[in-house]
Amino acid sequence: MEGTLIVDDDPAQLPDALKVKENILVVQYVPIQATTSTVDEKITVPSIRSAASGNGKTANR
């Protein structure tokens, strides 16, 4: 994968050195061994943006 430019901050406030491409890398763990080539197709990545953005999470129970 290559980085893509995500503008979710106010670009005017960013120093030039922060106007860069981004990747959101969500590290997950599943208690299984990688034994088939299709295992990655079975995983759904939930709510990447809300998980990455910090505040504003809601109670989950």
Among 7, 11, 12, 25, binds another protein (CB under 8 A): 25
Q: How many residues bind another protein (CB under 8 A)?
A: 39
Q: Residue 16's CB: how many other CB atoms inside 10 A?
A: 6
Is residue 57 a contact point for another protein (CB under 8 A)? yes
Distance CA 49, CA 56 (A): 12
Is 7 a binder of another protein (CB under 8 A)? Answer: no
What tokens were used for 48?
Answer: 């990447």
Which single residue is written with the structure tokens 């990655």?
40
Q: Cβ 31 to another protein, closest distance in Å?
A: 8
Distance from C-alpha of 31 to C-alpha of 53, rounded to nearest angstrom: 26
Residues that bind another protein (CB under 8 A): 1-3, 13-15, 17-18, 20-34, 39-40, 43-45, 48, 51-59, 61
